[in-house]
């Protein structure tokens, strides 16, 4: 989609992080915005940061609620008359091993990260079909091609989002709709702060600080790279230098790289446990 000006973009997870920066930068490019999130206060803060005079509407939507997502798609078309782009960005994480995580927390992550993207894609597809050109941008992760320990439902869901995206690319290839599968590396946002954890030895604050240390890309930069991928109709968009390096390492050492990460994180966790008691 070369020219974003005047296009209607529906965006989930717009109250924070990458989603907030996408909203700000898309408004600067002349897009009309239909912004969704579960966090009303955060959405209002995002809207207060927007410049330009395009139309902006906000919706409280839990992306894990299928009926609400379908109703949202109808509301967007009723409010804006059309929709040209859906960006399925909302996401959450966990910091617990598969063995220890409750099914409740597993489902919380999986339902938002995978089913949220599926519902957003299927609910908007009929309206996207009606446009001369349209785009679906689904946010996966580098964890869509390699797992990080103690984040099992997220790893599984992001792999599933990648599979969904690749299937959509195949199935929609002769249509007006282009699909971008986005794979960010570490982006400095609230994702770990908002995660669920069953661990008692590493308190949240410490995990947030650890994440902030390794997350090498700002949310602003991530948003501009994602918009670049949208404008160029890229099928696959890596976000951040770490994502580029990880992508290469995973191709070269598909199992070895995963083993190395598992070993390194396991050793660090053991040390933290020992120093905690």
Ligand X SMILES: NC(=O)c1ccc[n+]([C@@H]2O[C@H](COP(=O)([O-])OP(=O)(O)OC[C@H]3O[C@@H](n4cnc5c(N)ncnc54)[C@H](O)[C@@H]3O)[C@@H](O)[C@H]2O)c1
Binding site for ligand X (CB under 6 A): 12-13, 15-19, 37-39, 42, 61-64, 89-92, 112, 139, 141, 184, 186-187, 189-191, 194, 215
Decide whether 68 or 235 has the Cβ nearer to ligand X: 68
154 catalytically annotated = yes
Given the complex with ligand X, which of 65 and 133 has the nearer CB atom? Answer: 65
Number of other residues whose CB lies within 10 A of the CB of residue 111? 20
The CB-of-117 to ligand X minimum distance in angstroms stands at: 8
Task: Give me the least distance between CB of 6 and ligand X, in Å please.
Answer: 26
Among residues 59, 115, 127, 154, which one is catalytic? 154
| Residue (8 or 11) nearer to ligand X, CB | 11
Q: At its nearest, how many Å lie between ligand X and the CB of residue 36?
A: 6
Q: Compare residues 77 and 186 and give the one whose CB is closer to ligand X.
A: 186
Could you tell me the smallest distance in angstroms from the CB atom of residue 236 to ligand X?
14
Q: Which residues are catalytic?
A: 154
């Amino acid at each position: 989609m070369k020219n974003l000006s005047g296009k209607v973009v529906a965006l989930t997870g717009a109250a924070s992080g990458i989603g907030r920066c996408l909203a700000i930068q898309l408004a600067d490019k002349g897009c009309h915005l239909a912004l969704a999130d579960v966090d009303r206060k955060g959405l209002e803060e995002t809207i207060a940061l927007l410049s330009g005079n395009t139309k902006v509407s906000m919706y409280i939507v839990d992306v894990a609620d299928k009926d609400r997502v379908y109703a949202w798609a109808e509301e967007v078309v009723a409010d804006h008359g059309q929709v040209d782009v859906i960006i399925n960005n909302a996401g959450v994480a966990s910091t617990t091993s598969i063995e220890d995580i409750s099914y409740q927390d597993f489902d919380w992550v999986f339902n938002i990260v995978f089913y949220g993207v599926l519902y957003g894609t299927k609910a908007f597809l009929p309206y996207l079909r009606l446009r001369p050109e349209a785009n679906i941008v689904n946010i996966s992760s580098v964890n869509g091609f390699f797992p990080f320990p103690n984040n099992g439902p997220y790893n599984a869901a992001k792999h599933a989002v990648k599979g969904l995206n690749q299937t959509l690319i195949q199935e929609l290839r002769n249509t007006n709709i282009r699909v971008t599968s986005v794979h960010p590396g570490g982006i400095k946002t609230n994702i770990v702060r908002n995660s669920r954890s069953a661990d008692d030895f590493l308190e949240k604050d410490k995990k947030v600080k650890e994440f902030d240390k390794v997350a090498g890309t700002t949310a602003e930069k991530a948003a501009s790279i994602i918009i670049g991928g949208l404008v160029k109709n890229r099928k696959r968009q890596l976000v951040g230098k770490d994502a580029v390096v990880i992508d290469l390492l995973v191709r070269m050492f598909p199992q070895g790289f995963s083993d190395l990460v598992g070993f390194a994180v396991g050793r660090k966790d053991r040390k933290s446990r020992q120093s905690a008691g």
